[in-house]
Chain A
Amino acid sequence: MLDCKHVLAELSNYLDAEVSPELKRVIEEHLAGCHRCSLFYDTTRKTLKIVTEVGPFELPLDISGRLHARLRELFAGR
């Protein structure tokens, strides 16, 4: 049986499905019986879901405009 500390240490790998089938089974066994770890797992999973769902950050047009202006100066040999 894994203890809470080890489950927490593997939480990220577990979320990324980067654990062996055996470790996955042991972690799931622990989560089923440990409210606290199950809560950490669930809220960390929600955190990543929210971060993904807010969508990509947009680059402000003026920042992009200044970059391309600088590139054109470079191309023109200035």
Chain B
Amino acid sequence: MSEKVADAKMPVRRFANDDDLPIVDRVLAGDTQAFEELVRRHERRIYRTAFAITGNPEDAEDAMQDTFLKVYQHLGEFQRASRFTTWLTRIAVNEGLQRLRRRRKTESLDDPVMSEEDIMPRQVEDWRDNPEKAYATQEIRQFVEEAIRSLPPAYRVVFVLRDVEELSTEEAAEALGLTISALKSRLLRARLMVREALAARFGRPAGQKSEM
């Protein structure tokens, strides 16, 4: 690819557990099939991240395609100071944001102004026992999807990266360009909002006694 490849082969610090790196090396050596392998490993997660930001399937697909095209063209610039997946996610976040801003000029991943009142839980009744057993998996999946979709983008993307895609706090913060404390504060709010949305489905019907 580019002459910057040489730099990439002398990393600042390698992440010993980054199992993408051998594939990255094959791509840099010109193996296009290796790139397709890399894409297959990450496409689901990258689409999911882009969808969390844009909230729109067409924009998410477009952002995902452009993310992988950019990654292919700029792979030699990957410095390996973070895991490959973090670097890739950061590119996807930027692609998603560009499309979000095109659609909604005022939209950003900045923290919306929210008061403490906004995050104070409102649904205070207990949930029915084993709510996940009262519905089919497909129904529960739909409730979860709806709950996530109802969040503002700044919270939705944090929730998806941390609790759906299970990135670490540090990785999610790096991918989003946030400090650890900002990430944690949004994660708390996001979790409480998802809880609130699910409580509407799983709250205990009046009169049902807890077995706990």
Contacts and interface: CB of A to CB of B under 8 A. Distances in A.
Interface of A: 5, 8-9, 11-13, 15-16, 18, 36, 39-40, 42-44, 46-59, 63-64, 66-68, 70-71, 74-75
Interface residues of B, number: 43
A12 B194 contact: no
A42 B202 CA distance: 13
B131 A70 contact: no
A54 B137 contact: yes
A75 to B, nearest CB: 5
Given A8-B120, A39-B124, A53-B132, 14 more contacts: A9-B188, A11-B192, A12-B191, A47-B195, A48-B191, A49-B132, A50-B198, A59-B43, A59-B48, A67-B68, A68-B39, A71-B32, A71-B35, A71-B68
Contacts of B72: 71, 74
Q: Is the interface of B mostly helix, strand, loop or mixed?
A: helix
Contacts of B61: 63, 66-67
10 contacts: A8-B120, A15-B191, A43-B202, A46-B131, A50-B131, A59-B43, A66-B61, A67-B65, A71-B32, A71-B39
Given A12-B191, A39-B126, A51-B144, A74 B69 contact: yes
Contacts, number: 102
Contacts of B43: 59, 64, 67
B198 A47 contact: yes
A51 B124 CA distance: 20
Contacts of A12: 184, 187-188, 191
Given A12-B188, A48-B191, A57-B44, A43 B140 contact: no
